[in-house]
Amino acid sequence: MTLLVDAVSYLFSVVTLAAIKAPDTPPPGADGHPGLRRQVTEGFAAVLRHPLLRTICLEAFTYNFFVQFGETLIVLYALTVLDLSAGMLGLAIGIGSLGGLAGAIVAPRAVRRFGFGRTFIAGTALGCAAPVLVPLASGPPFAAGATIAASYLVTGFGVTISVIGSVTLRQTVAPAHLLGRVNAVMRLASYAAVPLGAAATGLTAAAVGVRTGLFLGAAGLALPTLILLFSPVRRMSTTD
């Protein structure tokens, strides 16, 4: 029933998209616009050649790859190993949205006080370190659920600050005429990591167990922070 409700909710998207009455954009190659192949090539070249764009693209890929260990295994681990109820797990995960709201409020103030680079890296570090609390959760269901909730709360806070930093940097340094193509490459890299990470999660968990798989995913989440630390982002006080 839960999956059915979720599926039906997508009908709202269909209705709202169908209600958009904007004119179609010219086809590729029309009115002097470059063809699709050239646009794709230019987008990849812009990302690969720019040290900052290349950095945040790799950071996003590694995060989305290793975060799948937690996203894929959390339900199995919480319901079968920790004996949480579905409602308690849903509440624990939902608390992460409060962390995201707090991160959105704090991000601009933190940048003004500590600088862009430090804030971006600190938010990434928080968001990538907190998932280790999930395989550390233990004890009665309430205590285990509270630990998972804390993990999602801190993760939501840190990741929101990180995403704000990444998107701000991307939109600032990308050439204006290539911004759409740069965004497309970034999203491709981010979303391509999801199925790859999920497949790696399944193979890993089958080989070493669910809890160990969660620990391995948490260890892999150190990479996004290290990528930023050993990049020009660390020395940035602003995005100007």
pLDDT of 166 strictly over 90: yes
- Mean pLDDT, range 110-118, rounded to an integer: 95
Q: Domain 34-233 sits in which CATH superfamily?
A: MFS general substrate transporter like domains (1.20.1250.20)
pLDDT in tens, 189-198: 999 999 999 9
Whether the CB-CB separation of 34 and 42 falls below 8 Å is answered with yes
Which pLDDT value is given to residue 39? Answer: 87
Return the DSSP state at 231: S
pLDDT at 29: 53
Q: How far apart are CA 210 and CA 196, in angstroms?
A: 18
Rounded CA-CA distance 188/195 in Å is: 12
Instruction: Give tens-digit pLDDT for 55-90.
Output: 999 999 999 999 999 999 999 999 999 999 999 999
Longest dimension (CA), the chain: 66
Type of residue numbered 135: P
Query: Range with the lowest mean pLDDT among 28-37, 127-136, 201-210?
Result: 28-37
Average pLDDT over residues 171-175: 93
* pTM of full prediction above 0.85: yes
Can you tell me the distance from the alpha carbon of 120 to that of 153, in angstroms, rounded to the nearest whole number? Answer: 18
pLDDT score of 154 more than 80: yes
Residue 169 identity: L
Instruction: Provide φ and ψ at 85, rounded to 5°.
Output: -80, 160
The rounded mean pLDDT for the chain is 93
Q: Tell me the pLDDT band of 25, cut-offs 50, 70 and 90.
A: low
Instruction: Return the percentage of the chain with pLDDT > 90, whole number.
Output: 87
Interatomic CA distance for residues 222 and 229, integer angstroms: 11
Helix residue spans in 77-209 (DSSP H): 86-94, 96-114, 116-129, 133-136, 141-173, 179-208
Least confident of 35-44, 59-68, 212-221: 35-44
Q: Domain ranges in the chain?
A: 34-233
